[in-house]
Structure 1
Amino acid sequence: MQIAALRASAPPSMTVPLSSLPPGAPGADVAQPPTRHTISVLQLHQIVQGARRLGCDIDALLRRAAISPALLQSPNARVSEDQFAALMRSMRRVTRDEFWGLLSRPVAPGVFAQACHALIHCATLEDAMRAGLNLYRLHLVDFVPRLQQRDGRATLLLLPRAPATACRQYAQSTFAFQAYGVANWLVAQRIPLAGVDLAARAPEPARGPARLTDTERVFNTQVRYGQPHTALHFDASWLRLPVVQDASSLQAFLNDTPRNLLTRYRDDSCLAERIRRHLRCHLDDELPSLEQMAGALRLTPQTLRRRLRDEGRGYQSIKDSLRRDAAIALLEHTDLALQQVALRVGFSEPSTFHRAFKKWTGVAPGEYRQRQMMESAA
């Protein structure tokens, strides 16, 4: 059931805009909630595979990142990008491996920083990518990363050296994601991808507002799963761009890694992200209809639907995912009562918000907050 259906019988006056709350009313003086994207708990299941194989205490690792282990039992649960980045750092320390036990031989902490130090002295992106891949070939035994060019297209190709396992396939996806993030940082702009091939199987379709997987949203291009090789494809002309980073910018980059790999140079130009930014301003009010949004963007409703369909999104799913992410942020970072959280994300009735949130994440909002508070205090 979509939010539109949940609210179909409610008259417009039932939604109370935050701006209409009198001064001093609960929630009136709270800033607009942060609406960063969240990450599916399915990613947690994959990223802890290696640590679990090594016998690490997964619950303890999750708690260090302020993530409730109970969320692993809720297939639709979400965590913040900061929590996911904290989990990556925690697992790196515990496993003493930059790939968290996913590969047959660990990659010692410091290799990523060593590679970045070498790359900033290269003249072009192509020089940097080849230098970085050469370095990593000294540390990787499960797959071989190569840069290929053909007919104007460049491909970062990962050739497996060992039998495919879920751990190795996730490690390859991780390597491709990190290499792409570093490449974007080196040239200080997002490199548009022509396609992504992943050896990993396609994730199980999850219930909830978002149709795109987290992987598809990060790469912002078609992702083909179950392929013989993991590969990123892009126009070879990007390889000629100069490296613009230096020692001073490198330290700030390393200090904020891996979080900046999740958020930096995100594609905010796509139509879905433009709509999401516009909707943030109306989050506590009745969100615009598709026809109203089309008018604001100077598009016909038919064109808006078609362009969103081309991006793999739907207008209702954008609205629902924004409300979900904003609600999660408010539950984690404020002490607003649940009724006020509901108002802040556009629900006049707490019961309707309760049903919608449980549909989005698999747990009720009060239970979600309680779990997070317990982990933060642990």
Structure 2
Amino acid sequence: MSSPSVLAAMTTQVLVAAESLGADVAAIVREAGIEPELLPDPDARVPLGQHLKMWEILSRRGDGLRIGARIGLASLGVIGYAMQHEATVGEALAWQQRVGAVLYPGLVPQLERRRDAAGDYVVFVRAMVPAFARLIEPIYAQAAAIVAMMRAVAGAGARAAFVTLPLPRPGDPREVEAYFACPVAWDAPLMQLGFDAALLAVPLPRADPQLFGYLARRAEAMLAHSPGDASWADRVRREVGAALAEGEPRLQAVAKRLGVSERTLHRRLLDEETNFAGVVEAVRHARALQLLADRSLSASEVAVLLGYAEPAAFFRAFRRWTGETPQGFRRRGGAG
């Protein structure tokens, strides 16, 4: 099995941004053990350990927020270029969800639609892996990069409506709060950035179906051969996660997005000793534990975000998974 790796465009753009802030990039590349010949090729792969080492070195400088604000769509390589040529912001983000594993599996935040009394939002949600959370600066960088990406595709006026960060409030949070220009909640269980859902309908000025198709095929070919993405269960898991907030996931819709027939997808999942219902169940279980950690969401709202038509169906499923109710799980402190 291939070792975990990230798209070289990500590593390169982080280094370019760091250099603009005065970092000695040549020294960082040497210390991190990155092969310099990989960096000019945006489609190359950089070993994950070397990418993490780069961030460990950069974290000494405390430039995460400013790096994230500078990297934009270029850090997404062919995915970023393709997104600019989709028809609307919503279609660009939905496509990014499907092929995001080209960058690194699990790196692209899940996209959720939330409607409540305060408004209608599209929300980027990610549970940060310990390796990045320990360094702190990569969390600032990804949150800032999401805002930069939204401004790149939706227009310079795009701004976050709210941000939650799984980080302790710094002694002086003014730079962070000024960049996001919206309420920032600290010590949150998840990284979340919400934007007005009306942005999803914004048409992209560089929309070009032919060019998008060309770039999309290139990205999808890379996805098919990317390390760690050979599992059909992983592909289905990613599709289901992206679609949950829109309602009950359907095998037919997922098979269509993956470019295979329902029968073929069913057979390939059986070959991996699972099935569609089992994947949906596993995704919902994992997501439920994440969402219940956010105590601003009621259990009924969590049910909607998991694609259940009725809260009662979620409550029954949660009891089957854990032996207790969502409310009992929270009271016991399980969500912490």
User: TM above 0.5, one fold?
Assistant: no
Scaled by the length of structure 2, the TM-score of the pair is 0.39
Flag the structure with larger Rg.
Answer: 1
Structure 1 or 2: more helix by fraction: 2
